[in-house]
Structure 1
Amino acid sequence: MPSDKAELAARIAILQSGDSIRGLIFKSVFGLVQQHAGAIGMEQLRVGELNHDYAELRSYPAREFLTLLYNTADLLEGALGAQDAVFHACGEVSITRYSTGPGMLVFGIISRGDPQKLFAGAQMAYSAAVSYGNREYLTTGPKSGTLRMRRDMMPPAYHVGILTGSLKVLGLTGKATAKPQGIDRVDYDIEWT
């Protein structure tokens, strides 16, 4: 089943001028496509506005990244499952790569392996990768919290992948549950063991 293009259009419609994402995040998704669909999949994906080189530390329009996510969902559906499963995989691979690059400061020095510190630094971490949105973390227990994202137009499954992937980077298992408040407003309940 093709990805939801009406949802894509709605997400693109709420973008503001200047909303951008670092090339590193694009390259992470391209790597996932290369892994599961090879050179043929990359040729199918790298058309139109996605047909240019991406430098890791340069920023590119968020519109292009949304297009990339939904096109990747179409392309990898057979390998990874429905749209949300692909978005989740894109989020997880993005945070894995980010944590060894620009995010190493947040993962290694600031968090010191503590998920509470890591998620409390979410605004700083996201600000290094994207130019939009606000994130606020609330501790709800010794091994749980809620991350409130506002003015973030990415699909919730993508962020669930980032959050559960972050726990994996720290060597923990856990889950994140999205509670949408609107198309660009979602609360994520996070728990780990």
Structure 2
Amino acid sequence: MPSNKAELAVRIAAAQPGDSVRGLFFKTVFSLIQQHAGPAALESVRVDALATNYSDLRTYPVQDFLTLMYRAADVLEATVGPENAVFHACGETGVTRYATGPGMLIFGIISRGDPQKLFAGAQMGYSAAVSYGSREYLSTGPKSGTLRVRRDMLPPAYHEGILTGALKVLGLKGTARAHAHDIDRVDYDIEWG
């Protein structure tokens, strides 16, 4: 079943001029496509504005990233699952790569393996990856918290993947559940063991 292009259009419309994402995240999605669907599938998504070579640290329009993710959902459905499973995989894979590159400061020095410290620094971490939105973390217990994300038009399943992937980077298992208030306003309840 093709990904939801009507939702894609709404998400693109929520973006503002200048909203951008680091190239590292584009490259991560391309790698995921190649790994699970092969070179032909990768070439099928790299058309139009998505045909350029991406540099990890340069930024590119979030509208292009959204388009890429929905195209990825179309070509990865047979091997990864429905679009939310693909978005989750894109987020988890992206944060794993980010944690060993530009996000090393957040994961290694600031958090020191503590999820509370990591999520409290979410705004700093996201600001190094994207040019838009705000994130506020509220601890709700010793092993839980809520991340309030505003003006971020990426699908909630993508952020659930980022948050559970971040816990995996720290060597923990956990969950992140989205509670959407609008297309670009979502709260994520995070728990870990």
For 2:126, the equivalent position in structure 1 comes to 126
For 2:55, the equivalent position in structure 1 comes to 55
For 1:113, the equivalent position in structure 2 comes to 113
Q: When the two structures are superposed, what TM-score results if normalisation uses the length of structure 2?
A: 0.99
SS of structure 1 residue aligned to 2:57: coil
- Cα distance in structure 1, aligned partners of 2:3 and 2:42: 18
State the shift of 1:41 in Å. 1.1
- 4+ long deviations beyond 3 Å: none
Percent pairwise identity: 70
- Cα distance in structure 2, aligned partners of 1:143 and 1:159: 19
State the shift of 1:49 in Å. 1.2
Residues 146-185 of structure 1 mapped to structure 2, 5 A cutoff: 146-185=146-185
State the shift of 1:174 in Å. 0.4
- Specify every segment of 5 or more residues in structure 2 that has no aligned partner in the other structure, as ranges: none
For 2:22, the equivalent position in structure 1 comes to 22
Pairing 1:80–2:94 present: no
- Cα distance in structure 2, aligned partners of 1:5 and 1:61: 18
SS of structure 2 residue aligned to 1:167: helix
Q: Deviations over 1:83-118 (max 9, x none)?
A: 100000000000000000000000000000000000
Q: Which residue identity is paired with 1:12?
A: I
State the shift of 1:48 in Å. 1.1
SS of structure 2 residue aligned to 1:179: strand
Q: When the two structures are superposed, what TM-score results if normalisation uses the length of structure 1?
A: 0.99
- Cα distance in structure 1, aligned partners of 2:56 and 2:167: 23
* Alignment RMSD: 0.4
- Cα distance in structure 1, aligned partners of 2:14 and 2:44: 27
Residues 28-39 of structure 1 mapped to structure 2, 5 A cutoff: 28-39=28-39
